[in-house]
Amino acid sequence: MEQEHQHITSYRTYAIVLTALLFLTAITVFVTWFDLEALTIVVAMAIACVKVTIVISYFMHVKHDKLVFKLMVGMVFILILVIFLILFSDYLFR
């Protein structure tokens, strides 16, 4: 039986990743204390995207996974982005 090479992430890496995620969460909450109006949602979404990328890369192991998984995950997010863009270009300019 073929034995696949398995990448083992260290506990330390996970602890660092969690710290980063908690730090980003703190920033998101902190930013809402100031009235940045339209910018608030932009900042919140930008931070959310960074957090999602970190979770997918490290917690979900995509960073050390086979190329096919990287491509699959990438394409789904591009698909979602395209759906949003097409929908809003239609909705906002009709």
Contact residues: another protein, CB under 8 A: 1, 4, 6, 8-11, 14-15, 17-18, 21-22, 25, 28-29, 32, 40-41, 44-45, 47-48, 51-52, 55-56, 58-61, 66, 68-69, 72-73, 76, 79-80, 83-84, 87-88, 91-92
Burial of residue 59 (number of CB atoms within 10 Å: 0-12, 13-18, 19+): middle
User: Minimal distance in Å, beta carbon 58 to another protein?
Assistant: 8
Shortest distance (Å) from residue 30 CB to another protein: 10
The first and second tokens of residue 90, run together, are 């239609």
C-alpha span between 83 and 47 (Å, rounded) = 21
Give all strands (DSSP E) within the chain, no chain letters: none
Minimum distance between the CB of residue 73 and another protein, rounded to whole angstroms?
7
